[in-house]
Amino acid sequence: MKRSALSIVMVAALVLIGSCPAQSQTEISIIAPGSAKAALDALIPGFESKTGYKIKSSGGNGIETKRRVVQGEAFDVPILQSPLEDVIASGNVVVGTQTVLATMPVFVAVRKGAAKPDISTAEAVKRMFLAARAVSYPGAALGAGVGISIDESLKKLGIFEQVQAKSKQTRTGGAAMALAASGEVEVALTFLNEISDTGVEVVGPLPLEVSTPTALVGFVSTHAKDPAASKAFLEYVSSPYRAAIYTAHGYKPGH
């Protein structure tokens, strides 16, 4: 009799477990660069509340996160900065699932109270760089994805070597801004969401003729445990309804 009662209890427990929504037991792992952290931190709780999925996030600088995905580290949803040719060629993301969440222009800042340079045209930007005694920005060689974009702009303007000779490259946008705030450099550049130092003032974004905004792109990984769950997350964080969150954190939503 006791054994029969115990069996009934065990069966009832199994039925209850089986009746729980599958997504409540599913964890989605993501990796994203530090530049995306603020917006994702604002978006993730709403997704978890709506779907029951749980998000486990990893991060790092732009180049490091990309390297980890290219080398095959398993994440359900990689969110990475363009350019992405090496990521696609790695075979570790599902081609056709790429989803642009937002774009990030490079912004110029100067020490608070300093004269703001003209950056309205390519020629004006070139004059700004050449006139500056020193320039700071997060360096590509130090792992910063924004540094790739800035280097490309300098090459496009034909002044890469001149600016490199007087640049102070940092690991983060915050460190680049600190150099401007202290007066050690006259011009500092990074993504807008990395400019929070009260000792600097934002001049504005580099013009499109000089700098193509960096895209923040999500993929379903070929290692995804639940591709449908990964796709659901990308659909949520790229929805037009989330545009205000990206805007509030210094991004331009979508393409």
Q: Do 93 and 222 meet the contact criterion of CB atoms below 8 Å apart?
A: yes
Task: Determine the Cα–Cα distance for residues 207 and 102; give it in Å rounded to an integer.
Answer: 17
For residue 152, the model assigns a pLDDT of 95
Judgement on whether residues 81 and 112 belong to the same structural domain of the protein: no
Of 75, 119, 88, 106, which Cα lies nearest the Cα of 223? 75
The pLDDT mean for the chain works out to 89
pLDDT digits (tens, 9 = 90+) for 177-225: 999 999 999 999 999 989 999 999 999 999 999 999 999 999 999 999 9
Q: What is the mean pLDDT of residues 51-62?
A: 91
Q: Do 23 and 52 meet the contact criterion of CB atoms below 8 Å apart?
A: yes
pLDDT digits (tens, 9 = 90+) for 221-242: 999 999 999 999 999 999 999 9
Q: What is the mean pLDDT of residues 49-56?
A: 95
Residue 246 belongs to a domain: yes
Tokens of 6: 């115990």
Check pLDDT > 50 for residue 76: yes
Residue 3 belongs to a domain: no
Task: Determine the Cα–Cα distance for residues 134 and 103; give it in Å rounded to an integer.
Answer: 28
Task: Determine the Cα–Cα distance for residues 82 and 122; give it in Å rounded to an integer.
Answer: 22
pLDDT digits (tens, 9 = 90+) for 126-162: 999 999 999 999 999 888 889 999 999 999 999 999 9
Residue 175 belongs to a domain: yes
Judgement on whether residues 189 and 248 belong to the same structural domain of the protein: no
Q: Which domain holds residue 61?
A: 25-103+215-253
Check pLDDT > 60 for residue 103: yes
For residue 60, the model assigns a pLDDT of 83
Judgement on whether residues 75 and 119 belong to the same structural domain of the protein: no
- DSSP-derived pairing of the beta strands 77-81 and 27-33: parallel
Residue 11 belongs to a domain: no
Check pLDDT > 80 for residue 11: no
Residue 132 belongs to a domain: yes
Of 29, 22, 21, 25, which Cα lies nearest the Cα of 55? 29
Judgement on whether residues 111 and 90 belong to the same structural domain of the protein: no
Residue 13 belongs to a domain: no
Residue 38 belongs to a domain: yes
Judgement on whether residues 134 and 199 belong to the same structural domain of the protein: yes
Domain with residue 31: its CATH number is: 3.40.190.10
Q: What is the mean pLDDT of residues 22-38?
A: 80
Q: What single-letter DSSP state applies at residue 214?
A: E
For residue 55, the model assigns a pLDDT of 96
Residue 1 belongs to a domain: no
Judgement on whether residues 118 and 201 belong to the same structural domain of the protein: yes
Judgement on whether residues 64 and 112 belong to the same structural domain of the protein: no
For the chain, what is the domain count? 2
Coil, strand or helix at 112 = coil
